[in-house]
C-alpha cells in the first residue's frame, strides 16, 4: 500500500488531537491547578464571613436601617447607603522598625470579592490579575461556550494584539462581564456568570465616596485571613500558567517534529508513542479540528444540528459533555 504523504492539514489534525489529549491528561501541573482552585473554594466562604462581621462592626445594621429611613423621608440628599463587594481593610502595627515612622503604622489594602476582582492593590476590577483568575476559575464554563480560557496564559509576556483581544472580548462576553459592577448578559441571556458570582458578596456600607476614602478597621489576624484569599486566588493564576506553559512547550515540540516527517504514518507512530490512539484512516476522514465528520454517527449528528437550532444552556452543556465522552472513548 502506498504511503500517504504528510501535509499541513494532517499536521494540524495531529496537533489538535494531541492538545485535546494534553488538556485532559492527569499530570502534576494539571493536578496542582485543580487543587489550587479547590483551595480557593475553601478559603472564599471563610474570608467573606469574616469580612461580613468586620463590615457590620463598622456599619451596624441599625445604622444602615436608620439611613435608609432618612432617605425615604428626605430623598436623594440622604442616599448614603450602598452595596459593595470590595473594601479597604486596615490595621495598626503594634511596633515599628527602626526604618519606620508613624506614617508606616497603618497598614491598609484593597480586597475585592468579585470574580474579576484585582489581586494587586488596585481599586479596579478587570485588571490583568482579575481576568487571569476569572478565566482560570471558570475554565470549564468558558470551554463549554467555545471560548479560550487559556488565552492570557498562552500570550503571557506578549504585547496586545488582535488575536489576544478577540479572545479576551469573547471570554468577557461569555462570562457576562463588562467592567466594574457592570454586567452583560451571557450568551444564553440568563443572569450572567459574573453577576451571579458577585451577588453573593455584596454588603451594605454607609458613604457614597470611593472605597479608598472609607477604610474599615480590622485586627491584624483578620487582615491576614483576607490576605489568604488573595494568595489562594493568585496561586490559581500561577498554577494555571505553569500547566498551560507545559502544554505550550509540548505543542512547540510537536510542531517541530511534525515538520520533519514526510509520511502520515510517522505522525501516527508518534501519537501512539505518546499514548494517543489514532490511525491513518481516521486522520484522512476527519476535518482539521480532529472531528471525524464522515463517521456515520458524527455526520448524522452534524446534519441534525442544522435544524432545531434553538437550545437551552443545559442542552448545549449536555451535548458538549456527550461529545467529550465519545472523544475520550475514541
- 171-187 per-position pLDDT tens digit: 999 999 986 556 665 44
Q: Which residue has the cell 475554565?
A: 139
Reading the block at residue 261, the C-alpha cell is: 516527517
Distances in Å between the alpha carbon of 269 and those of 266, 283, 284, 290?
5, 13, 15, 17
Pairwise pLDDT comparison (21 vs 124), residue with the higher score? 21
Residues in the chain, total: 330
Reading the block at residue 81, the C-alpha cell is: 447607603
- Rg of the chain (C-alpha set): 25
Pairwise pLDDT comparison (292 vs 182), residue with the higher score? 182
How much is the pLDDT for 203?
Answer: 95
How much is the pLDDT for 202?
Answer: 94
Q: pLDDT band at 284, cuts 50/70/90? A: confident
Q: What is the DSSP letter of 158?
A: P
Global model pTM greater than 0.85:
no
| pLDDT of residue 147 exceeding 90 | yes
How much is the pLDDT for 189?
Answer: 45
Q: Which helix (H) or strand (E) holds 206?
A: strand 203-206
For the chain, the domains span 8-21+263-329, 28-246
* DSSP string over 53-75: HHHHHHS-HHHHHHHHHHHHHH-
Average pLDDT estimate for 89-113: 90
**Residue 84: what are its φ and ψ, rounded to 5°?**
-145, 160
Q: Could you tell me the end-to-end alpha-carbon distance of the chain, in angstroms, rounded to an integer?
A: 25
Determine the Cα–Cα distance for residues 70 and 218; give it in Å rounded to an integer: 28
Q: Which residue has the cell 505550550?
A: 248
Determine the Cα–Cα distance for residues 178 and 184; give it in Å rounded to an integer: 6
Q: Which helix (H) or strand (E) holds 238?
A: helix 220-260
Amino acid at each position: 500500500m502506498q504511503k500517504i504523504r504528510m501535509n499541513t492539514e494532517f499536521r494540524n489534525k495531529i496537533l489538535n488531537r494531541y492538545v485535546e489529549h494534553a488538556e485532559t491528561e492527569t499530570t502534576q501541573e494539571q493536578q496542582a491547578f485543580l487543587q489550587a482552585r479547590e483551595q480557593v473554594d475553601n478559603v472564599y466562604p471563610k474570608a467573606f464571613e469574616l469580612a461580613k462581621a468586620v463590615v457590620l462592626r463598622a456599619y451596624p445594621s441599625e445604622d444602615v436601617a436608620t439611613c435608609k429611613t432618612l432617605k425615604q423621608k428626605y430623598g436623594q440628599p440622604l442616599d448614603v447607603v450602598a452595596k459593595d463587594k470590595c473594601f479597604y481593610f486596615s490595621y495598626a502595627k503594634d511596633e515599628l522598625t527602626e526604618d519606620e515612622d508613624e506614617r508606616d503604622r497603618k497598614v491598609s489594602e484593597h480586597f475585592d470579592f468579585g470574580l474579576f476582582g484585582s489581586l494587586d492593590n488596585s481599586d479596579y476590577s478587570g485588571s490583568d490579575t482579575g481576568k487571569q483568575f476569572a478565566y482560570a476559575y471558570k475554565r470549564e464554563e468558558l470551554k463549554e461556550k467555545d471560548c479560550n480560557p487559556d488565552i492570557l496564559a498562552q500570550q503571557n509576556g506578549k504585547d496586545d494584539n488582535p488575536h489576544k483581544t478577540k479572545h479576551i472580548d469573547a471570554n468577557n462576553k461569555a462570562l457576562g462581564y463588562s467592567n466594574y459592577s457592570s454586567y452583560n448578559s451571557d450568551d444564553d441571556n440568563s443572569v450572567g456568570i459574573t453577576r451571579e458570582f458577585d451577588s453573593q458578596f455584596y454588603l451594605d456600607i454607609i458613604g457614597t465616596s470611593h472605597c479608598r476614602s472609607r477604610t474599615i478597621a480590622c485586627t491584624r489576624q483578620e487582615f491576614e485571613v483576607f490576605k489568604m484569599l488573595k494568595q489562594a486566588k493568585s496561586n490559581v493564576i500561577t498554577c494555571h500558567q505553569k500547566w498551560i506553559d507545559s502544554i505550550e512547550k509540548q505543542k512547540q515540540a510537536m510542531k517541530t517534529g511534525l515538520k520533519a516527517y514526510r509520511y502520515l504514518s510517522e505522525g501516527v507512530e508518534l501519537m501512539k508513542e505518546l499514548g494517543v490512539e489514532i490511525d491513518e484512516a481516521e486522520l484522512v476522514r476527519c476535518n482539521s479540528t480532529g472531528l471525524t465528520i464522515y463517521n456515520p454517527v458524527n455526520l448524522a449528528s452534524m446534519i441534525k444540528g442544522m435544524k432545531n437550532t434553538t437550545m437551552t444552556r443545559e442542552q448545549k452543556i449536555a451535548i458538549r459533555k456527550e461529545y467529550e465522552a465519545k472523544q475520550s472513548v475514541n
